Amino acid sequence: MNYFNILSISDDRRWLVIYIILMGILAFVAFGHLSNHPLDGDDFEYIDDAAAAIQNPSHLFSTDNKLPGRPFVDAIFFVAHILWDKNPAAYHVLLIGLHLLASIRLVQTFGLFGSSAPVSMIGGAFFCSKPAAFAMYSGYRVWDIRLH
């Protein structure tokens, strides 16, 4: 019962393809409006770090970055900055795509840990639809919550 092994999908690949298409639609419905949002928050720091890395690629791994310690994210912003400069729509669409891929990977991970296919798919859809990413995309910061 290895439903989500990408290299050897279960007996019927159609269900995985249909699920991925439905997840894409869900991601578009949940986050499609973000392509119209301007850059905000720490986006500017990532873009500044990417611009500095264009001048000197060793800056990608520097501790002098405004937001150091995330070389994979820095590399993504570096490539995105080369491709799109400061186009906010492109950055947001890229991040939505990465969130969708993380949601699909989460489904696979649930399956690898023995979860049933329906539970794994519901968990992935829940993650993709907003609850886990609400704070990041709404501008509301989780760490600003104060419990009294």
Please say whether the beta carbons of 50 and 77 come within 8 A: yes
Helix 88-112 × helix 13-31 angle, to 10°: 140
* Interval 106-132: pLDDT, tens: 888 988 888 888 888 888 898 888 654
Taking the C-alpha atoms of residue 60 and residue 148, their distance in angstroms, rounded to an integer, is 40
DSSP at 3: T
Q: Determine contact, residues 127/103, Cβ cutoff 8 Å.
A: yes
Residue pointed to by tokens 């873009």? 47
Tell me the pTM: 0.70
Tell me: pLDDT of 134 over 80: no
Give 125's contacts (C-beta < 8 A, 6+ positions apart). Answer: 22, 23, 26, 103
Interval 92-116 mean pLDDT: 88
Asked whether residue 4 carries a pLDDT value surpassing 70, the answer given is no
Q: What is the pLDDT of residue 131?
A: 53
Q: Give the phi and the psi of residue 41 in degrees, each rounded to 5.
A: 60, -130
pLDDT score for 22 = 92
| Cα 53 to Cα 71: distance, rounded to the nearest angstrom | 11
Give per-residue pLDDT as tens, 54-86.
Answer: 898 888 888 888 877 777 888 888 888 899 988
